[in-house]
Structures are given as structure tokens and as C-alpha cells.
Amino acid sequence: MHGQRAWRVPKCFHDLISPLPEALAPYVPQFRYDLHDISARNAAEIKGDLLTRLIQLALRNIYSDEPRERLRELLNLIDTVIDQPTALDILESLLRYDVQGTRRLDEQDVRTLLIEHRPGEPLMQTFIEKCSEVLGRVKTHVEERVRTQLRRRHKLRSRAQGYARFPNAHLYDHVGLFKVPTTAGWTSAHASA
């Protein structure tokens, strides 16, 4: 539990179905769940492996009055797994949750924290490269989907005809397709640090 208000939903599934007819009770699954209030715990009280601690701390910190400081602490924890192949995925999920969840951190805050945290480090470069790669794939996918729709609308049979009639320049200049940037927005900021 990590919300701003106390949890008031029943912990027993049967209690959620009201009124539950007695004749149906044997056929409705009966289970309970444990609820752990992590909002009252401090960082030292949150135990477990690194991923468990990261998740619990991220959940607990989402309503913090100091979101930048809490994110800085989580970035320090990620440093302990920097060599593991999942480090980038953890970092990406953590940043997405923090930015979308707090609504008090924006992209510029995250850029600044990443640059301050490990300027010029391989993890940050790899993270930026991964973002750029994903953006490039999104751009290509959007171009292909729009071209496919145009090809169908104009009854062109082959992809080659679609490419000849609707090159990328046509998609952007005449159709008005938004050009997805292929580099992460913080790439230039990172390079100047």
C-alpha cells in the first residue's frame, strides 16, 4: 500500500461480492491477500533483494515532498546492479514510474539528474542509445503503417509501388506526418556535460 489515503477495500474476495447468495458461495473463489503498508517504513526498514527494495522504495516515495532527492537515492541503488543486463530495464521503468506517477518531475528534471549522477558513464550513454533506438523503430513503424494505408487507398499492389509513389519526403511534406525524433531529447544535453 502506498496511497495517500488509508486502504478501505476488503481483503477477502467474498466480501467484495455483496450480497453473495449462499447458494453461489461454494462456487465463488475464496482468497485473501496480504496488505503491507510501506508508507510508514523508512528506507532502512525495507529489506529484500535489490529489485524488491527498488520497487518498494519507488512506490513509497511517489508522494514524497522531495521527488528529486528520492529519485537520486533510487539512482544510487541502481548503481549496485549497473553491470547486470537488467539495469537499463530497471532504470527505464523507474524513470517512467517516477515521472508519470509524481507529475512533479518532468523530462528536464530527469535529464539533469542523469547527467549529475553519472556524467559520461557508459550506463547513461547506453540508456540514451537505447532510447534513440526505440525512437528510430517507432519512426520507421509509423512511416510503414501510413505508407501501407496510402497504398491500400490508392490500390497499389506492391510495396515497391508504395515506396515509389509515397517516399518519406511525401509522407512528411504532403501528408503532414509528424516526424518522430530519432534521438533522445537529452542526448545533446548529455554531450555538453
Query: Hey, is 186 helix, strand or coil?
Result: coil
Those residues whose C-beta lies under 8 Å from the C-beta of residue 126, and which sit 6 or more positions away, are 88
Instruction: Write down the pTM of the prediction.
Output: 0.49
19: how many CB neighbours lie within 10 A of its CB?
5
129: how many CB neighbours lie within 10 A of its CB?
15
One digit per residue, the tens of pLDDT, for the chain of length 193 reads 566 777 788 888 888 887 888 898 888 888 888 877 777 777 777 777 777 888 888 888 777 888 888 888 888 877 777 667 777 777 777 777 777 666 777 767 777 777 777 666 655 566 666 667 777 788 888 999 999 999 999 999 999 999 999 999 999 999 988 887 766 554 444 444 4
Query: Hey, is 12 helix, strand or coil?
Result: strand
